[in-house]
Amino acid sequence: MRIQESAEMYLETILVLSKRNPSVRSVDIAAELNYKKSSVSVAMKNLRENGYIRVDADGFITLEQKGREIAETMLERHTLISDWLTRLGVSRDTAIDDACRMEHIISAESFKAIKKHVLETDGQKDA
């Protein structure tokens, strides 16, 4: 089942924040995305109810396995696409913005082909 782009964005943000900080709370997500706390709170409730995240009694958010898988997929797509666009001559800011949109709509098949091409071009045959 495919989840909404906004849910993918929240999961990716939780992953990124968890790599930076020992704990992640809704307020951290709101600050990172420049969203209202109330919007993030509703999203976290939905993600929790659907088994993508766990929220402990202190409000600390942890990715569940299926949430982590989606987050890691989105982060990999974002990183590879933005780096690739930058190497093609796109400005870093534009590449990041474009990758942020592309990562959610590209098919697994197309991303796999792009990844293979990028890795082969970089001399890394392990796609």
Q: CATH fold of 73-121, please?
A: Diphtheria Toxin Repressor; domain 2 (1.10.60)
Q: What is the pLDDT of residue 66?
A: 96
State the pTM of this model.
0.87
Cα 26 to Cα 53: distance, rounded to the nearest angstrom? 12
SS3 for 33-98 is: HCCCHHHHHHHHHHHHHCCCEEECCCCCEEECHHHHHHHHHHHHHHHHHHHHHHHCCCCHHHHHHH
Parallel, antiparallel, or unpaired: how do β-strands 53-55 and 61-63 relate? antiparallel
Q: What is the pLDDT of residue 77?
A: 96
- Asked, colleague to colleague, whether 5-69 and 73-121 share their fold, the answer is no
Q: What is the pLDDT of residue 1?
A: 43
Residue 55's beta-bridge partner residues?
61
User: Which residue stretches of the chain have pLDDT < 70?
Assistant: 1-2, 124-127
Q: What is the pLDDT of residue 127?
A: 47
Q: What is the pLDDT of residue 125?
A: 52
Nearest Cα to 77, choosing from 118, 19, 35?
Answer: 118
- Looking at domain 5-69, which CATH architecture does it have? Orthogonal Bundle (1.10)
SS3 for 5-50 is: HHHHHHHHHHHHHHHHCCCCCHHHHHHHHCCCHHHHHHHHHHHHHC
Q: What is the pLDDT of residue 121?
A: 85
The ranges assigned to domains in the chain are 5-69, 73-121
